[in-house]
A and B are shown apart, each in its own frame.
Chain A
Amino acid sequence: MSERFPSEPFSIEISNLVKHYHHQNVLDHLQLTIKRGDLCVLVGDNGAGKTTLLRILASLIRPDQGEIRLINNTENENSSYRGKIGYLGHQSMFYNDLTAAENLRHYAELYQIPNAQEAAEASIQSVELTGFKDNLVRTFSRGMQQRLSIARALLHHPSILLFDEPYTGLDQKAANFLDAQLRNLHQPDKIILVAAHRPQRMLSFATHIAWLQKGKISHHIPIDQISDFPDLEDYLRGTV
Chain B
Amino acid sequence: MNPFNRYLKTIWQIFKKDIRVEWRGRQGIPVMLVFALLIVFLFNFALQLSPDLQAELAAGLLWVALAFASTLGLNRSIASERENNALDGLLLAPVDRSAIFFGKSLSNFVFTFLVALILLPVFSVFYNQNMLNLRLIFIILLGLGSYTSLGTLLAVLSIQTRARDVLLPVLLFPLALPILIAAVESSRLVLGSHPVSDYQSWLFLLIAGNILFIGVGLLFFETILEE
Contact = CB atoms under 8 A, between A and B. Distances in A.
B85 interface: yes
Contacts, number: 78
Interface in A87-115: 87, 89-98, 102, 106-107, 109-112
B90 A110 contact: yes
Of the listed residues B1, B10, B25, the one surrounded by the most CB atoms of chain A closer than 10 A to its CB is B25
A91 B85 contact: yes
Nearest to B26: A97
B88 A95 contact: no
Interface in B84-111: 84-86, 88-96
B6 interface: yes
Contact of A93 (B86, B94, B96): B86
A58 B92 contact: yes
A96 B93 contact: no
A111 B89 contact: no
Interface string A69-102: 0000000000111110101011111111110001
A102 B80 CA distance: 15
Given A61-B227, A62-B227, A95-B21, A107 B96 contact: no
Given A60-B226, A95-B21, A102-B20, A111 B88 contact: no
Given A93-B84, A97-B25, A109 B226 contact: no
Contacts of A62: 226-227
Interface of A: 58-62, 79-83, 85, 87, 89-98, 102, 106-107, 109-112, 136-137, 152
